[in-house]
Chains A and B, each alone.
Chain A
Amino acid sequence: MTIEDFISKLEAEFEDVEPGTLKAETSFRDIEDWSSMHALIVIALIDTEYDVILSGTDLQAANTINDLFELVRTKQ
């Protein structure tokens, strides 16, 4: 898995995000209209695509998309 691949999967999952707008250093909570629903979508995406289940605590400790990517990598 690559960070580019991870980002494009996230972009595909968020209906209101244009492809190419997210970066590794993007703080995901700053994504426009970020809500608790998006957090669930992130957990579900990572679970179904990478077979890693993040806990709520894991997600709360992460800030950027790269943090999430690293988290998935270490747990895989």
Chain B
Amino acid sequence: MVAASIKAVSYYLPSERLTNEDLFAQFGTLSPAEIFKRVGVRERPIRGKGQIGSDLAFESSLVLFDEHGVDKAEIDFLLFCTEGLDYKGPATACIMQDRLGLNKGIGAMDIPMGCAGFTNGLAIAKALIASGQSKNVLLQTADIPSSVIHPGDLDLRMLFGDAGASALISRCDDQFGIGNFVMGTDGSGAENLMVKRSNTRTPVDTKWLEEHKAVGGLEFGRMEMNGLEIFSFSMREVPSLVNDILAKNNLALEDVDLFVFHQANAFILKMLARKLRIDNEKVYNCMEYIGNTVSASVPIALAKASKEGKIKKGNTVLIAAFGIGYSWSGTIIKY
């Protein structure tokens, strides 16, 4: 059986930062220390004026090519994953093919998914490789949640950051690589985390723009989250997801060297560790200066953990992502 592995991962963070001090200065309620205690974040990268998801994805691919010496001529499939596409048509992936100067003889498609976008995209990338269709898939994940958060919504502003990431998934012939996937979907939870007034079903109208004039119009829509339901969902589905991933890959909890979950918030990561009875040190957390970057969170975590030496050759890493949809998925990666 042809195997696939994550050959390289890089990411790009926009240079602007939103700090806890900025939030305290604006809201005057939670102190910077209290904000950190609640969500485990001190700073979040925020997009520059006019910068959108595909811009961050583009930059992250340039970093990938440079950092890892990737020859872009070898890329034969492009997957672009985001909740914030450039247009309703054409697909952003098509524009990206031209912008990155990739070959014309490649497939390029969008995956409009959020928190579980990277793991969902990775499942598709692996399938493309395992089927013999492709040898080198570029999977980009990028999101700009700050563009759909009401400036007066402290709960969301303290959590989310904007970022882009790129991963190269390539054919490999040994026992290393991406394992079996477990996936799940429950659309009945859609309303609990949704960008309202953001597309065809309920487009922004003049009344909406007028109502939100003081906060810039919220022209891309407004993210609304029922935090309690999302937390309850995470505690219900993620432990089963982890156990199912282990079972599907014939592994026990102790065989895993590092758990890389979607960086939802530090409290969720801590509670998942507690429920699964795994040491906090084995659950990777890089939220302090990045926050929750939606679809970019897992690849950023993988890149950072590798750089910090927390993922080494020979390690078994479990990745799992979950959230908006609801959608959840995960697998094992053998390094």
Contacts and interface: CB of A to CB of B under 8 A. Distances in A.
B274 A44 contact: yes
A53 B229 contact: no
A59 B228 contact: yes
Contacts of B155: 36
Contacts of A43: 228, 231-232, 235
A2 interface: no
B232 A53 contact: yes
Q: Is the interface of A mostly helix, strand, loop or mixed?
A: helix
Interface string B27-49: 00000000000100000000000
Nearest to B227: A36
**Which range holds the interface residue count of chain A?**
10 to 19
Q: Is the interface of B mostly helix, strand, loop or mixed?
A: helix
Nearest to B268: A40
Contact of A55 (B38, B229, B267, B271): B229
A1 B231 CA distance: 25
Interface string A51-62: 001111101100
Nearest to A35: B38
Contact of A54 (B226, B232, B271): B232
Interface in A36-69: 36-37, 39-40, 43-44, 47-48, 53-57, 59-60
B282 interface: no
Contacts of B226: 56
B275 interface: yes
